[in-house]
Amino acid sequence: MEKKLIISCCCLIMGLTVFAGDGEYAVTKIPAVLLKNANAVKRMEQISFEVVNTGEAILKKRYAITILNENGDQQALFMEYYDKMFEIKNIEGALYDAGGKELKRLKNKQIMDITGSDDNNLIDDNRRKVHDFFHRIYPYTVEYEVEIRFEGTLFFPVWLPREDEDFAVEQSSISIISHPDYTVRYKAFNYPGEPVVTTEKNRKILTWEVKELPAIKDEYASPPWEDINTAVYFGPTAFEVQKYKGNMESWQDFGKFVYALKAGRDKLPDNIKQVVHQLADPVRDPKEKIAKLYEYMQKNTRYISIQLGIGGWQPFDAAYVAGKSYGDCKALTNYMFSLLKEAGINSYYTLVRAGRSAKRIMADFPSSQFNHVILCVPVSSDTVWLECTSQTLPAGYLGDFTCDRHVLIVDENGGKLIRTPKYAMKENLQTRRVKAVLDEEDNLRVKSETVYGGLQQDNYHDLIHGLSKDKVKEVLHEQLDFATYEVNSFEYKETRSVLPEVEEKLDITVNNYATLTGKRLFIVPNVMTRTYHRLTPNEDRKFDIELGFEYKDVDTVEITIPAGYSAESVPAEISLSTKFGNYQSRVKVEGNRITYYRSIEHFSGTYPAKDYADLVKFYDAMYKADRNKLVLVKNETAAKGF
């Protein structure tokens, strides 16, 4: 009876047929403002999330989306994940034509039930319910209704009415239902006002609703999605998951829950304790001890994801990892924690939201925002960070997967937010020296030596550790910016340190690098390092510009050309100094030798939308400068053979 009441108060009792019978989903009823820049329009969405108690919640969603063209087809796909903590109770669906006439209704046998895991997961209870009507006569509308039971209240839904760029919303609402004494926390972005609060038979209902949200046009280097979109994030206070109880009113409280999941799981077998002391006891320097134990862990374990129920949050104990020689991020981090503890070194189990484009969490909104675990090891006035899932990274280096963001360190006192290191321009340095010889057939023999530092070496680290030599050569054949070329040889050498470097040596033959027209020879002196950013002007830019990667490239090139040529036209020296970065290039010709120098400093930061035109000019100027040609002319005496 309680459920019927809740559905009523959330306007969810109507059957799927009510909306379509009178052509409610007719495309002609969509306001014109919502069609601009839109590939799909959400016609309606009604969500209710009821906190039954701290150990159970019920989510009900009902929505309809009109697909306007083939670029919106992905929005017609229904997909919901489930596992031991999420049970899908019911799914209904229907398909409508442009006039709102029902064409087809979903049958249970048409719903695919497939794995939700990936190749990294050894054992995983994550699965997906998937359905697509595969209708391609535009426009059309899909409508779905789903009910999901949450076993536990660790996770609350996110209300994101506009789910993507080029996606408009006619109407969307969410209601959060709980006991009057239970506090549901929320953080809103770009939502005017506060939720409507009502009570009904010992239930408190908070409702948010929006209407007529136009599509957002994708813009280069725009801010994080929640900064430019309407969204509300929700979080519990007291919660429970598989009999484990916690509270999320503060980061300290949430940290206590995480610590309780790993408490007592740091006991090592006696043989591993002996190894720890053999490695660590003779060493005096704490950082060297940490590095030795980290390398031992890397050589004797491998990353395999095992996610079953609470195992998605709770690490396997250290003895399990020692015996099996594998574990997921939680298990391996806990194992490394245990090795260091045996050596008398304190460390912190640390939650992080990992990913190259996932650097920000809501620091003022304690909630489950993390997807990975690393280890923080304080050493006197310094800190050593350890990525325990990697068998190749040096101790102390994180890379762009987890650097420069808030993380939650955990101990018996709870959790505390701190930041991981940021790698700045001076660390992200690429230096390249090129010596090249141009022959009489205009082929260029290139020998280059490049040192990649900091984040600039990340891709090369992955390349040399993840691929065979033959595969690396294939990658080089695809990525170098020459029309026709052959990689004669290549070599990589890695320096493992807190700030690692990769040294690359290439020997390449480039066919027809120069262009010969009559007695004139045209050649681009910038042989290898060219920028590819050319931005489309946008006088109506709406959002701030966020540049997140700062780096410096320095190139020195020497090209030996055939005898008998002199310079007819030499590109002018270029020096650009802007708020986004600096650029310099210059060319000199002496005898049969061309010398080219190039330097670029690219800044990070947030800039107002009005500066976009200046950014377009800066990138365009660099693009053109990188491709400036030097014109050489054959001397008359040389042309006559004297």
Tens-digit pLDDT profile for residues 175-209: 999 999 999 999 999 999 999 999 998 999 999 99
Q: How confident is the model at residue 358 (pLDDT cuts 50, 70, 90)?
A: confident
Residue type, 300: N
With tokens 């095992």, the residue in question is: 306
Q: Are 102 and 19 in contact (CB under 8 A)?
A: no
The predicted structure's pLDDT at residue 226: 85
- Residue listed under structure tokens 């002007």: 537
CA distances for 389 relative to 57, 227, 305, 374, angstroms? 34, 32, 10, 8
Residue 118 in this model has a pLDDT that exceeds 60 = no
Mean pLDDT computed over every residue of the chain = 92
- CATH 3.10.620.30 in the chain: give the residue spans: 250-419
pLDDT band at 85 (very low <50, low <70, confident <90, very high): confident
Among 162-176, 300-314, 456-470, 595-609, which is the least confidently predicted range? 300-314
Q: What burial class does residue 241 get, using C-beta atoms within 10 Å of its C-beta: 0-12 exposed, 13-18 middle, 19+ buried? A: buried
Domain(s) labelled CATH 2.60.120.1130 in the chain stretch across 429-638
Task: Work out the pLDDT band at 116, boundaries 50, 70, 90.
Answer: low
Compute the distance between CA of residue 452 and CA of residue 48 in angstroms, rounded to an integer: 51
Question: Domain 250-419: which CATH class?
Answer: alpha beta
SS3 (DSSP) at 298: helix
CATH code of 429-638, in short, is 2.60.120.1130
Within 13 Å, how many C-alpha atoms sit on residue 352's CB side? 33
Q: CA–CA separation, 141 vs 147, rounded Å?
A: 21
Q: Is the pLDDT of residue 10 over 50?
A: no
Residue 37 has pLDDT above 90, yes or no: yes
Please report the pLDDT score of residue 3 as a whole number: 36
Grouping H, G, I as helix, E, B as strand and the rest as coil, residue 410 is strand
pLDDT in the model for residue 108: 87
Structural Rg of the chain based on CA atoms:
30
| CB-CB contact of 152 with 117 (8 Å) | no
Does the pLDDT of residue 65 top 90, yes or no?
yes
Percent of the chain with pLDDT over 70: 93
pLDDT tier at 52, thresholds 50, 70, 90: very high
pLDDT at 242: 85
Domain boundaries 2-244, corresponding CATH code:
2.60.40.3140
CA torsion sign, 293 to 299 to 300 to 306?
A: positive
CA distances in angstroms from 229 to 162, 208, 547, listed in the order given: 7, 15, 19
**Whether the Cβ atoms of residue 563 and residue 437 lie closer than 8 Å to each other:** no
Does the pLDDT of residue 540 top 90, yes or no?
yes
C-alpha closest to that of 168 among 80, 93, 79, 67: 67
Residue where the block lists tokens 């510009």: 545
Cα distances (angstroms) measured from residue 221 to each of 207, 225, 357, 580:
33, 11, 11, 12
pLDDT at 542 over 90: yes
In this prediction, residue 7 has a pLDDT band, given cuts at 50, 70 and 90, of very low
pLDDT at residue number 6: 34
72: CB partners within 8 A, 6+ apart: 38, 39, 40, 166, 167
Q: Are the C-beta atoms of 303 and 389 separated by less than 8 Å? A: yes
**130 within 8 A of 78, measured Cβ to Cβ:** yes
Q: Are 387 and 297 in contact (CB under 8 A)?
A: no
For tokens 């509270």, what's the residue?
Answer: 247
Residues of the chain with CATH 2.60.40.3140: 2-244
Q: What is the pLDDT of residues 450-476, one digit of tens each?
A: 999 999 999 999 999 999 999 999 999
CA 402, CA 422: separation in Å to the nearest integer?
Answer: 10
- How far is C-alpha 117 from the geometric centre of its chain's CA atoms? 18
Residue range 401-414: mean pLDDT, rounded: 97
Q: Can you give the pLDDT at residue 457?
A: 97
Adjacent-strand bridge partners of 368: none
pLDDT interval class at 2 (50, 70, 90): very low
Mean pLDDT within 149-173: 96
Q: Is pLDDT at 585 greater than 90 in this prediction?
A: yes
User: How many CA within 13 A on the CB side of residue 593?
Assistant: 7
In tens, the pLDDT along 278-295 reads 999 999 999 999 999 999
pLDDT reported for residue 527: 96
What is the model's pLDDT at position 84?
Answer: 83
Q: Is the pLDDT of residue 642 over 90?
A: no
- In this prediction, residues 559-572 reach a mean pLDDT of 95
Please tell me the predicted confidence (pLDDT) of residue 307: 64
Structure tokens at 635: 């001397």
H helices within 193-328, ranges in order? 225-228, 251-262, 270-280, 286-300, 318-324
Find the mean pLDDT for residues 124-141.
91
Query: What's the maximum distance between 2 C-alpha atoms anywhere in the chain?
Result: 106
Average pLDDT value for residue range 88-97 = 96
User: Edge-to-edge strand order for the sheet containing 102-105?
Assistant: 102-105, 86-96, 140-151, 56-67, 40-53, 167-178, 204-213, 196-199
